[in-house]
């Protein structure tokens, strides 16, 4: 069950945008010298994700010190939200507003340091698994209501899953559909959707007991993470307007839509039927939110710097501080106090085509040669993010930091070590075709990559590829590239969502995500074995060991960076912090200062 290509494209496009934003920062070394401001922390400071208890799932959400209710928070963004129908939400930016409007069976409780705990959201806890993790049962909390005051029932939760089969739902996640039917990518063949009056046999509800049970076709020990996705949020059966629902969805979260002018503005007001006693996640201090769309990133940043009028109560929702202002923000103590930052959820790599670069020593030589420091300097120096050395990103359960190839001690590359490996392999002077999306940032990084490859004894051939068709080209199994820039963003914080799509032999094919075309029996077997380990902490250890073994014995990628994004907020905004899931401002924790 591989991640959808949509999420892959979004993840890597976000990376391109983020690095472009930071590419114009002043030059400096890896330690932040020569005028390059340092972000502060040099390593990821977030924490492991844990699974909470029933008590953790019980509302209200923990109070934020100094916070008070009332006032309006203003959000600034270049773009409107592309979808508001939860089943059509599979993009992090849309999820930032979904957190205010919609609720799923589970969700993430995030503390002030960014530590995440999976808890029951609509459900009383994170679910009960049985039948070898093929059966999952959730019980709804009491007191759940829709914005019109009607009761939110298990039938509404079921409807949120069954709507995924509607022909107009083409953008959402597909994990649950595949698991419920056992038909993989042909899950639509198993069920016509709910609008003809037929229910999916594999979902059973009991309104009296307030339970919903999922009978999966295959074991899924992390299904409680799957159902946290907004693609599976509840939708009221009686208030479903089908295609029109995308413009005016019905809220069960703390806010509802009062007004929305597409591409211009949106106003949210309190949903008086939301009961904080049912919600351990959201604080919801402001009386409402007003979003201003069409404000380009630089202009929005300048407004936040100026801090005038309503902009004193404003936040940037999803776009970070651009290159033109990053130094100003990080070197002005008053502005730096009004900023926060975090590492994006995805990891950025260079795939090595193992069908073309067949010698392990050559692949290892490429890793040693790769100029991570010079690349990050083009992205903006230390404030642009942290060097990556693993497949897994730091907010994945089980992540373990390691440095097999000495990239943290020699991030500029080790041409001597690379040369020695090439000599051992008898491949001195080997041609390496490097492909990347045609973008101003990557046209700069290709220069330092080309120089590093030459210094290491390779003969580089540089192939810029049209950015619009980039993924179409690198996801062809007969492509003519040896090394390809790219990245991956997990859909929930377990390693299955990173390792399976990228290294399972079953994920090789045109348009598929195993771009390195790694197909090794012990990796395929380990993926199957790890995917059914019930205890997520134990599973995490198994995935971390597999991560390290893949990098040591196969070396199918060159890890690059865990990229960082900075945000500004107005002087009268409190509680603004980074959302470790969606790399955005965590809106439901913000409040208006007295």
CA 249, distance to chain mean position in Å, is 24
Q: How far apart are CA 546 and CA 241, in angstroms?
A: 46
* Mean pLDDT for the stretch of residues 201-221: 97
Q: How far apart are CA 185 and CA 3, in angstroms?
A: 11
First to last CA, the chain: 49
pLDDT level of residue 489 (50, 70, 90 thresholds): confident
Q: What is the pLDDT of residues 123-165, one digit of tens each?
A: 999 999 999 999 999 999 999 999 999 999 999 999 999 999 9
Q: What is the pLDDT of residues 266-282, one digit of tens each?
A: 999 999 999 999 999 99
- The answer to whether the bond into 273 is cis (omega within 30° of 0) is no
- The answer to whether the bond into 214 is cis (omega within 30° of 0) is no
Contact 44, 562 (CB under 8 A): yes
Tell which residue, 13, 2, 174, 176, has the closest CA to residue 92.
13
What is residue 34's predicted lDDT score, i.e. its pLDDT? 34
What is residue 13's predicted lDDT score, i.e. its pLDDT? 34
Q: What is the CATH number of domain 64-255+586-592?
A: 3.40.190.10
This prediction has a pTM of 0.83
Contact 410, 456 (CB under 8 A): no
Residue found by looking up tokens 């904080």 in the block: 276
Q: How far apart are CA 218 and CA 237, in angstroms?
A: 28
CA 173, distance to chain mean position in Å, is 13
Q: What is the pLDDT of residues 40-94, one digit of tens each?
A: 333 444 456 889 999 999 999 999 999 999 999 999 999 999 999 999 998 889 9
Residue-by-residue DSSP string for 79-90: S--S--SGGG--
* CATH T-level topology, domain 5-22+345-564: Dipeptide-binding Protein; domain 3 (3.10.105)
Is the Cα torsion angle 489, 491, 497, 501 positive or negative in sign?
negative
Q: How far apart are CA 125 and CA 27, in angstroms?
A: 50
Helix (H) or strand (E) holding 435: strand 431-437
* Mean pLDDT for the stretch of residues 337-345: 91
List, in sequence order, every beta strand (DSSP E) within 358-405.
385-387
pLDDT at position 32 over 90: no
Buried b (16+ CB within 10 A) or exposed e, 426-438: ebeebebbbbbbe
What is residue 353's predicted lDDT score, i.e. its pLDDT? 98
Every domain of the chain and the residues it spans:
5-22+345-564, 64-255+586-592
What is residue 344's predicted lDDT score, i.e. its pLDDT? 86
pLDDT level of residue 401 (50, 70, 90 thresholds): very high
pLDDT level of residue 594 (50, 70, 90 thresholds): confident
Tell which residue, 461, 458, 382, has the closest CA to residue 419.
458
pLDDT at position 9 over 90: no
Residue-by-residue DSSP string for 172-210: S--HHHHHHHS-GGGGGGG---GGGSPPPTTEEEETTTT
pLDDT level of residue 346 (50, 70, 90 thresholds): confident
């Amino acid at each position: 069950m591989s991640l959808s290509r949509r999420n892959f494209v979004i993840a890597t496009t976000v990376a391109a945008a983020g690095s472009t934003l930071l590419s114009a920062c002043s030059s400096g070394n890896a330690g932040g010298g020569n005028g390059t401001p340092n972000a502060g922390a040099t390593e990821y400071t977030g924490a492991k994700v844990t699974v909470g208890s029933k008590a953790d799932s019980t509302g209200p959400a923990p109070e934020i010190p100094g916070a008070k209710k009332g006032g309006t928070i203003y959000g600034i963004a270049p773009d409107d939200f592309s979808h508001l129908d939860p089943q059509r939400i599979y993009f992090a930016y849309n999820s930032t507003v979904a957190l205010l409007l919609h609720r799923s069976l589970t969700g993430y409780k995030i503390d002030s340091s960014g530590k995440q705990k999976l808890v029951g959201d609509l459900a009383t806890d994170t679910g009960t698994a049985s039948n070898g993790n093929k059966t999952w049962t959730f019980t709804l909390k009491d007191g759940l209501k829709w914005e019109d005051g009607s009761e939110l029932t298990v039938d509404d939760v079921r409807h949120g899953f069954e709507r995924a089969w509607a022909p107009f739902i083409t953008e959402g996640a597909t994990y649950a559909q595949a698991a419920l039917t056992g038909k993989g990518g042909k899950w639509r063949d198993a069920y016509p959707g709910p609008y003809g009056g037929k229910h999916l046999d594999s979902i059973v509800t009991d309104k009296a007991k307030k339970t919903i049970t999922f009978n999966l076709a295959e074991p899924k020990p992390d299904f409680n993470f799957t159902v946290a996705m907004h693609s599976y949020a509840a939708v009221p059966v009686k208030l479903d307007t089908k295609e029109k629902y995308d413009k005016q969805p019905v809220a069960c979260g703390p806010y509802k839509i009062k007004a929305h002018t597409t591409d211009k503005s949106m106003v949210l007001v309190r949903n008086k039927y939301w009961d904080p006693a049912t919600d351990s996640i959201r604080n919801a201090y402001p009386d409402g939110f007003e979003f201003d769309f069409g404000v380009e990133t630089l202009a929005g940043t300048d407004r936040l710097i100026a801090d005038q009028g309503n902009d004193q109560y404003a936040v940037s929702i999803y776009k970070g501080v651009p290159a033109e202002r990053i130094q100003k923000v990080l070197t002005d103590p008053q502005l730096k106090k009004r900023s926060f930052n975090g590492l994006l959820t995805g990891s950025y790599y260079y795939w090595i085509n193992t069908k073309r670069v067949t010698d392990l020593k050559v692949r290892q030589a490429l890793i040693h040669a790769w100029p991570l420091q010079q690349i990050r300097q083009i992205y903006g120096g230390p404030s642009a993010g942290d060097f990556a050395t693993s497949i897994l990103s730091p907010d994945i359960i089980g992540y373990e930091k390691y440095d097999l190839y000495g990239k943290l001690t020699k991030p500029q590359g080790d041409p001597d070590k690379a040369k020695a490996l090439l000599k051992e392999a008898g491949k001195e002077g080997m041609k390496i075709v490097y492909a990347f999306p045609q973008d101003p940032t990557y046209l700069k990084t290709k220069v330092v990559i080309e120089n590093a490859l030459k210094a290491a004894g390779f003969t580089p051939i540089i192939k810029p590829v049209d950015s619009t068709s980039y993924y179409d080209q690198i996801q062809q199994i007969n492509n003519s590239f040896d090394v390809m820039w790219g990245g991956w963003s997990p859909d929930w914080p377990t390693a299955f969502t990173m390792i399976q799509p990228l290294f399972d032999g079953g994920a090789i094919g045109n348009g598929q995500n195993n771009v390195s075309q790694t197909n090794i029996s012990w990796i395929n077997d380990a993926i199957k074995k790890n995917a059914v380990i019930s205890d997520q902490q134990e599973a995490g250890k198994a995935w971390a060991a597999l991560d390290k073994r893949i990098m040591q014995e196969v070396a199918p990628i060159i890890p690059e960076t865990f990229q960082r994004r900075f945000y500004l907020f107005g002087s009268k905004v409190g509680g603004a912090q980074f959302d470790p899931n969606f790399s955005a401002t965590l809106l439901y924790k913000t409040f208006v200062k007295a």
